[in-house]
A = this chain, B = another copy of it.
Amino acid sequence: MSSASLNAPLPRLSKNGGPLYLQIAERLQRNIASGRYAVGSLLPTEHELSDHFGVSRQTVRQAILHLRQMRLISARKGIGTRVEARDAGATFSHSVRSLSELAQYAEETVLHVRDVKPVVLRGELAATLGRPAGETWLRLSGPRMLPGEDAPFCWTTTYLDRRLAGNVSTRRSYTHPIWRQIEQEADIRVREVRQSIAAKVLGRTDAARLQRPAGSAALEISRCYVIDGGVVTQLSISLHPADRFRYESVLKRDCASI
C-alpha cells in the first residue's frame, strides 16, 4: 500500500478548503485516529510530508504544530515526530480559567495573619512537601476577608520554607498572594502548582473560625507551589464554607483559543 493512497494529494487549495496547513493537519489526524499511524510510532519526516503533500516544509511544520498543541503528537530533535494519542478527545488537556482565581480573588480579598510560628516538618507534612523530616518551616494562618463582609471568605494555613520567607513573616495582612511576594523577594519563579480539592465537615474549631455551624460542609483546597527542579517552596491549605464558595473552571478542547 503506497502512502499516496493514504494521504492522497490535496484536491483542494487554500481558496476552497481553508488554510493548507489545517487541511494537512486534519488529514494527519484522520490517519492517526484510524490507526494508520499507531500510537508510539513516528510520523513520516517533515521533508517526506512536504514532498508528499506538495507543500513547503514550513507549511508541514504548521500542521504539526497544530497537532502538537492538541497533544496528539510530540517532536524531538534528531529523532522524529511521535504519535502520542489516537484521539484528541480523550485528553482535554487545556484549561483556560482553572486557576485564574489563584491570583484573582487574592486581589479582591485581604488575608489577615492571626498566627505565625515555626514548625518542624514530620510525617505527612514532610512527605507532601517532599522535604526531609526535621527541617523547620514557617506556618502562617488566618482568615481571608471580603471587603464589607463579616464572615471570612476562607481560613488559610500557609507553610513556607523559612529560608525564602524573608520579611513575609513580619506582615500582618496581605492583598497580594504570598507566593507572588516570595517570587519577587527571593528571585525565584513558580513553575507549577499542584492542587488538590477535598470535601470536609467542619469541626468545632474551624466552624468557629469560619462563623458557620459545626457539621456543615467546607471545601478544602491545598496548593503546593513548585519551582524549577521540582522543589516545593510553599503549601497553602484553604478551607472555604460550602455556602460561599464553589470551585469553577472551564476546560477547553484543543488549543484553538490561541
Q: Are B248 and A196 in contact (CB under 8 A)?
A: yes
A183 to B200, CA, bound (A): 35
Binds B, one of A10-18, A99-107, A111-119, A160-168: A99-107
Q: A200 to nearest B CB, angstroms?
A: 5
Q: Are A248 and B195 in contact (CB under 8 A)?
A: yes
Neighbouring B residues of A197 by C-beta, 8 Å: 197, 219, 246-248
Q: Are A252 and B191 in contact (CB under 8 A)?
A: yes
1/0 per position for A182-222, CB-CB distance to B under 8 A? 01000001111111111111000000000000011111100
* Nearest B residue to A248, CB-CB: B196
Q: Does chain B have a CB within 8 A of A127?
A: no
Binds B, one of A84-92, A132-140, A145-153: A84-92
Neighbouring B residues of A189 by C-beta, 8 Å: 89, 253
Q: Does chain B have a CB within 8 A of A69?
A: yes
A190 to B90, CA, bound (A): 11
Q: Are A195 and B249 in contact (CB under 8 A)?
A: yes
Q: A60 to nearest B CB, angstroms?
A: 15
Q: Does chain B have a CB within 8 A of A27?
A: no
Q: Are A242 and B200 in contact (CB under 8 A)?
A: yes
Q: Are B96 and A92 in contact (CB under 8 A)?
A: no
A191 to B256, CA, bound (A): 10
Q: A54 to nearest B CB, angstroms?
A: 21
- Which of A98, A180, A191, A252 has the most chain B CB atoms closer than 10 A to its own CB? A98
Q: Are B69 and A258 in contact (CB under 8 A)?
A: yes
Q: Are B180 and A89 in contact (CB under 8 A)?
A: yes
Binding site for B on A (CB under 8 A): 65, 68-69, 89-100, 102-103, 180, 183, 189-201, 215-220, 240, 242, 245-253, 255, 258
The list of the 4 closest CB pairs from A to B, nearest first, reads: A95-B95, A199-B199, A199-B217, A199-B242
